[in-house]
Structure 1
Amino acid sequence: MSNQVWALLQEHGIVEGAQPESEVLESPWYIKALLAFSGWLAAIFILGFIGAAFQFVFKTPGAALIFGGIMLVGAFALLRIPANEFVEHLGLATSMAGQALIAYAIFDFANHNQIVVWLLLAMLQVALVVVMPNFVHSIVSTLVAAIAISMALTELHIPYVIGGILIFGTSLCWLHEFHYPQQMKKIRAIGYGLVLAIIALKGTAQFNYQTFGGLSSENHEFWPQPWLGELMIGAVTLYVVWSLLQRYGQPVRSRLSIITLLATLLICAVSMNVQGITVGMVIISFGFFCANRVLLGLGIVSLLFYISSYYYLLDTTLLDKSQSLLMVGLILLFVRWLMFRIFPIGNEVHHA
C-alpha cells in the first residue's frame, strides 16, 4: 500500500496509527523444492561450461579451489538480492557449481583420505549454512553436511550413531524454534535439512546400507551394533516427550507424565527391530507440536515407507516380520486405549 493511500484512509478515519510494513510474499514450499532441483541441474550445466571453456580448472586443484571460492562469493552476492526468483535460481546454481569445484580440490589436497575429505566437506557445508542468506540453500547445505558426517562416521567404523545425532539436532531445532525470533527462518531451514537427512539415512539403512555410498555392514566389522543407534534414538525420543510435557505444564511426577514416558519407552523397546518407526513418530510429533503440515506429511510418509520396506526385506523371515509388526501395532493400540481410559476427554469436552 502506498503512502498516499494510507494518508487518504487516515483522513477519512478508516485507519489509525503508522502505516504497517508490507509483508513479503514467499513462494510455496513446493516451488522452493522445484527451485532446489533446478539449481542442481543448472549447476551441472555450469560445470560443463567451465570444463569446456577452462579445461585447466579441472586439471589443477588450486585453480579449482580459487574458481570455486569466486563462484561462492558471487552466489552470496546474488542470494542477497531480495524477492527475485530468477536471481535466486541463478545463485543456487552458481553456489552448487562452486561447491563441486571446491570438493574436487579438497579430494586432491587430502590425498584421497576419505575421513579428511568428508570432514572438510561437512565443515564447508556448515559454514555455508551460517553464511548463505537463502532458505533453500540452508536446507540443501544441512542435508549435504549430514551426509558427509555420516560418511565420515562410516569410515571410522561407527555408522550407527548418526541416527541419534541427527534426531537430537532435529529436536533442538523444532523444540526451540520460537526461542530465537530473529533466527527463526535459519533454524527452520536447518530443521528441515536434518529431517530430510534422517529420513534418507534411515531409509538406506533399511536395505542394509549405512550411508549413501552403499557401504554394507557385511564388509566392515563395526564395533557398535545397530541396536546402539536405535537405543540413542529412543533416548532422544524420551527427551522430546519429556520436553513436550514440560511445555504443556505437566509435572514430571504427575500421572500423565509417568504413563506417557513409560508408554514411550515401551514403544521404543518393541520397535527396536523395525528401524525408522520411532523416527517417523518423532517427526509426526514435531508436526503436531509446531502445527507444521510439511513435517506432519514427512512423518506420515516416512512411517509408511519404513513399515512397508521392512515387511518386504529378505534378510528376515516373513513370520518374524509379521510378529514384529503385530507386536508394535498391538502396543500402539494398547497405549491409545490406556490413555483414553485413564484420561477420558469426552467428559471434559461435554462440560466445556
Structure 2
Amino acid sequence: MALKPSLRDVVSQLQAEGVLAGDAQALADTALASRQDVSTGSPWFVRMLTGFGAWVASLFILGFISLMVAVAEELGAVILGLLLTGGALAVRRVGNNVFLTQLALSTGLAGQALFIGGVGTLADSVEAAAAATLGLELVLLFLYPDAIQRFLSSLSASLALMLLLRLTVSGVLVDVALLGLTVLAHLLFLHQGQLQARRQGEVVTPTAFGLVTALFFVLLLRTWFHGFYNELFREGAAELPAGVLTLGLAVVTLYSAWRVLEETGVETGGAAGVTAFATLALLSVLTFRTPGIIAAAGVLLLGFHRRSEVLLGMAVSFILTFGISYYYDLQLTLLAKSLALLGSGLVLLGLRVFVLRRFPAAEEVR
C-alpha cells in the first residue's frame, strides 16, 4: 500500500538537479532490468501455500483454546485474548518469514476478538466493547509491525470510535468526528512523503487507507441503511442534515484540491484552478443530499495525485454506489431521471472537450 513516485519521475528529478547524467529512459530501463534480475526468493505459489498452512495451523490452535475458554468463560476470554495478542506481537517481531507472519496475524486477530468479546460480555455493555476495541487497536497500530494489521487496526479503531460516540454523545458530534477522520485521512495522503521519512513513518499509509475505508463504510450505512444507522443513536439524539455534512466534506475536498494544485505548480487563481474549484463546488451543490459522492470525489483526487490504483478503485466503486443512491433519491419521474442522466452525460462530455482544448496535456516523454 506504500505510494512512491515512479522510477521515471525520480530519474528525471535527479537529472534536473544534476545528480545523474544521461538519457532518463535508458537509466530507467537499466534500473528496471536490474530489478527483474534480482531473485525474489520463493515463488508466489510457495508463499501462498505457506501462508495458507499458517492459517490452518492457527485454526487447530484456536480449536484447542476454545475448549479452555468454554471452561473459564468471560474472564478467561479476556486473559487468553491478551495472551494470544501479546504472543502474536512477540512472534511477529522475532520472525519475518511468510509462515510466522501469517500465523502471528491469524492468531493475533483471534486474540483480539476474544479480548473484545470477553470485555463486552463481562461488562454486558456495547460501549465497553467499543472502548476496548479503540484502546487495543490504537496500541497495536503503533506496536504491531505489519501493514495488514495496521490497516485493520486503523479501520477497527475508527469504527469503534464512531460507534462509541453514537452510543454516548449527540449525533451532531458524531458527524463532526466523521469530518475530523476525513481531514486526518486527507492530511496523511497529502503529506505522506514527509511523514514516512519520520519515526513511525510506516504507520502512515495503512492508517490513511483504514480511515478512508471507515469513511466510506459509515457513509454507506448512512446512505443505504439509514434506518439501521439511526437505531444506533441514543434516544433523542439528532444528526447533521445531509446537506451540512456534504458542505463539510466539500470544504475538505476543495482544500486538498488547492494543495494538489500548489504541489504540481498550477496557479490556483488561474483558469485551471478556478475550473477545478468550480467543478467540485458544483458537484457538491448538485449532490447535497448524498454526501458520499463528494467524499468519493476527494478520494479520487488523492488517488490521482498519489498514483494509487487502490485509492482510484475504491473511489470509482463508491462513486458508482453513491451515484445509484442519488439517482433513486431524486423525487422525479423515471422520464425526468432519464433526461437528467442524458443531460449530465452531455455536460460531462462537453466539459471534457473544454478541458482538453483549454488545458492541453504536455506530451509524454517516451
Q: With the length of structure 1 as denominator, give the TM-score of the two structures.
A: 0.75
Deviation at 1:132, TM superposition (A): 0.5
**1:166 aligned residue:** 181
User: Which structure 2 residues correspond to residues 1-352 of structure 1 after superposition, within 5 A?
Assistant: 47-59=62-74, 61=75, 63-108=76-121, 110=123, 112=125, 114-155=126-167, 156-158=169-171, 159-179=174-194, 180-181=196-197, 183-209=200-226, 215=231, 221-312=237-328, 319=334, 332-333=348-349, 335-340=351-356, 343-345=358-360, 349=363
- Is this contact kept in 1: 2:141–2:154, CA < 8 A? yes
The answer to which structure has the higher helix fraction is: 2
- Is this contact kept in 2: 1:310–1:321, CA < 8 A? no
Q: SS at 2:224's partner residue?
A: coil
Deviation at 1:51, TM superposition (A): 2.5
In structure 2, distance between residues paired with 1:234 and 1:256: 18
Structure 1: tracts of 5 or more residues without a match: 1-19
CA shift digits 1:273-309 (9 cap, x unpaired) = 2342212222222221111112112222222222234
- Is this contact kept in 1: 2:166–2:233, CA < 8 A? no
Q: SS at 2:288's partner residue?
A: coil
Q: SS at 1:178's partner residue?
A: helix
Structure 2: tracts of 5 or more residues without a match: 1-34
In structure 2, distance between residues paired with 1:273 and 1:43: 46
In structure 1, distance between residues paired with 2:276 and 2:133: 41
Deviation at 1:47, TM superposition (A): 4.8
In structure 2, distance between residues paired with 1:103 and 1:266: 44
CA shift digits 1:158-208 (9 cap, x unpaired) = 243454233222212211111133544321111221222222222222213
CA shift digits 1:119-142 (9 cap, x unpaired) = 342122111111100011011111
Q: SS at 1:276's partner residue?
A: helix
Matched to 2:252, the amino acid is: V
Structure 1 residues 321 and 231: alpha-carbon distance in aligned structure 2, compared to 1, 3 A threshold: farther
Deviation at 1:151, TM superposition (A): 1.0
In structure 2, distance between residues paired with 1:152 and 1:329: 42
**1:6 aligned residue:** none
In structure 1, distance between residues paired with 2:128 and 2:344: 41
Deviation at 1:218, TM superposition (A): 12
In structure 2, distance between residues paired with 1:285 and 1:163: 19
Q: With the length of structure 2 as denominator, give the TM-score of the two structures.
A: 0.72
Q: SS at 2:134's partner residue?
A: helix
Deviation at 1:243, TM superposition (A): 1.0
Matched to 2:261, the amino acid is: L
Matched to 1:129, the amino acid is: L
- Is this contact kept in 2: 1:270–1:327, CA < 8 A? no
Q: CA RMSD in A?
A: 3.8
In structure 2, distance between residues paired with 1:296 and 1:252: 24
Instruction: Give the paired residue count.
Output: 318
Structure 1 residues 309 and 54: alpha-carbon distance in aligned structure 2, compared to 1, 3 A threshold: same
